[in-house]
Structure 1
């Protein structure tokens, strides 16, 4: 393990990372709405929980409040981060990073070799977090985001063994 990288146990104490359940959806949707200009509709989260067999959904629970959420897809040996966000009250505490590390370690246990994601080119906080975990830029999707024609930065992590 690379000693420069945080472990799944590093970061703020008192957090519980667990699978997302339907009772979390109101808080998950609220986080999504305050975090993104193009939030997912409720039915998308319901689909991920109920129907999508490739979906893995987690939340970070702090004192029975959802502080962060993540949805990812595991397809054979690849892991795609579909969405990840932290409630504004809990940002800049390492919670999102801890959640992502947890998810990547879970994916590695299921045989995943590579992880992928896309992020807005102006989301410097997220870009720094992804780079700190070893994600590298693979390319861009021009004008990917419909609200402002912003590019999506495509990133990948090709070696989950260093986590």
Structure 2
């Protein structure tokens, strides 16, 4: 993500979340140590999605991930999430956390298919509407992506 991407990212943010982050948050994150700000560009459409990853030593947090409404349903969220997982592994992250609304069944299923497991709940974490968050965790292999399931050990 660059400063030029922020206006489009904020548009996606506002359409995706009930309490969206303002542009100033994204601007501040551009220079924050440990922050990885990713955008997904397509040849026919720049910035159709974005993700925010925080990395501190061997732990990471997927703070935000969203795809523009008009581009949902094309597996772009899955593609973007894989990019986050790859970046996290490259940064040496071994445990990646995230929070997700309890009612966000689509996101929860995506995370489940990528190996995230529920490790906790945060009561009344979200506002507008008030809702619990499920805390999810994915354990990554240090030094790279996980081997294929059929790989020899």
Q: Which residue of 1 aligns with 2:115?
A: 134
Q: Which residue of 2 aligns with 1:33?
A: 14
Q: Which residue of 1 aligns with 2:30?
A: 49
Supply the RMSD in Å over aligned alpha carbons.
1.2
Q: Which residue of 1 aligns with 2:52?
A: 71
Q: CA deviation at 1:92?
A: 1.3
Q: Give 1:1-163 correspondences, 5 Å limit.
A: 20-50=1-31, 52-62=32-42, 63-160=44-141, 161-162=145-146
Aligned length: 143
TM-score (norm 1): 0.84
Q: What CA deviation, in whole Å up to 9, does each residue of 1:19-44 have, x standing for no partner?
A: x0010011000000000001001110
Q: Which moved more, 1:110-119 or 1:63-72?
A: 63-72
- Aligned partner of residue 87 in structure 2, secondary structure: helix
Q: CA deviation at 1:65?
A: 1.9
Structure 1: 5+ residue stretches without partners: 1-19
Q: CA deviation at 1:88?
A: 0.7
Distance 1:109 1:55 in 2: 13
- Aligned partner of residue 109 in structure 2, secondary structure: helix
Q: CA deviation at 1:64?
A: 4.2
Distance 2:34 2:86 in 1: 16
Q: Which residue of 2 aligns with 1:13?
A: none
Task: Choose between structure 1 and 2 for higher RCO, CA contacts under 8 A separated by at least 6 residues.
Answer: 1
TM-score (norm 2): 0.89
